[in-house]
Amino acid sequence: MYMKPNLEIFREKVGKILYHEMDEAVEKSIEILEKEFFPHVKIKKAEKLIVVGDLHGDLDSLLTIIEKSDFISNKNSTILFLGDYGDRGLYQVETYFTILTLKILLKGRTILLRGNHEIFNGYETIPHDFPRSLLKSFGYHKAQELYEKFRKLWDLLPYSTSYNKIFFVHGGLPINIESKEQIIKPDDEIILQFLWNDPMEENGYKENVYRNLGYTFGPDITKKFIEITGFEKIVRGHEVCDGFKENHEGRILTVFSTKVYNNKKAGFLIIENGKEKRIML
């Protein structure tokens, strides 16, 4: 493992990550996450918060965000990843290696949320070709061992976080939220909706037929969530868009940070001094 994060080393490691390096990155991350784990974490100290949406193995966008945001050298900054690190992209192994290295070396300054592609409770997502990426990089037996460790690591990722009056989650809001306690200690049904739900512009909720799991939820559910919890805004990933997308009169903001989908742009969010800055790659 490196003494400090180095973007050039991450670029040079493309296709060259050794099994023991990846194994060490996963094992050390698990050790850190076991000490930190709580379903909802609160970001207490961050003069500058960098918010990254879905990556899906897009190493180039990840490294560009780290570079453009000045994350590594700015010690008063925190980077928050909203989940979906693997599947689809060409550099899934390298993307994981990079974010886990950041977690190991910068610990509390790096927050990794769980997305629906970090498999929860047996609910498989499509595509789920991350095991194939491990197989290509490390061979059958080592890939199997690593994948089992990744499943353990995913179970230690928090489902949501908050910063000031903003609530962050991968997917969406639960349709049946009744108390703030359900956020702090969510049951499996709430977790599933955190990972899978999407906003819609009509009131109420419907089964999420696009994903075959979870629900779509309307502005009335967002309003109720805000009234119960005291949050003023929800920032999430999960949904394909050109960098950013607003729902529910701006109360819901989607951040999308990968270019692995054809003709889609990527963006990331910076929150500093109470102001938001949306940056397109």
Domain contains 6: no
Domain contains 3: no
CA gap 144, 100 in Å, rounded: 19
pTM of the model: 0.96
CA gap 272, 65 in Å, rounded: 16
Q: 87-111 in b/e burial notation, b at 16+ Cβ within 10 A?
A: bbbbbbbbbbbbbbbbbbbbeebbb
Q: Which residues of the chain have pLDDT under 50?
A: 1-2
CA gap 197, 160 in Å, rounded: 13
Domain contains 48: yes
Residues 6+ apart with CB under 8 A from 222: 173, 199, 234, 247, 248, 251, 252
Domain contains 152: yes
Domain contains 7: no
With contact defined as beta carbons under 8 Å apart, do 41 and 158 qualify?
yes
Domain containing residue 99: 13-280
Tens of pLDDT, residue by residue over 208-226, are 999 999 999 999 999 999 9
CA gap 146, 166 in Å, rounded: 35
Phi, psi of 148 (to 5 degrees): -65, -35
Domain contains 2: no
| pLDDT averaged over every residue in the chain | 95
Angle at 157 between CA 151 and CA 158, to 5 degrees: 150
Residues 6+ apart with CB under 8 A from 155: none
What would you report as the CA-atom Rg of the chain, rounded to the nearest whole angstrom? Answer: 18
Total structural domains within the chain? 1
- The dihedral of CA 123, 124, 130, 136: what is its sign? positive
pLDDT at 4: 63
Phi, psi of 210 (to 5 degrees): -65, -35
CA 256 to chain centre: 10
pLDDT at 9: 83
Domain with residue 210: its CATH number is 3.60.21.10
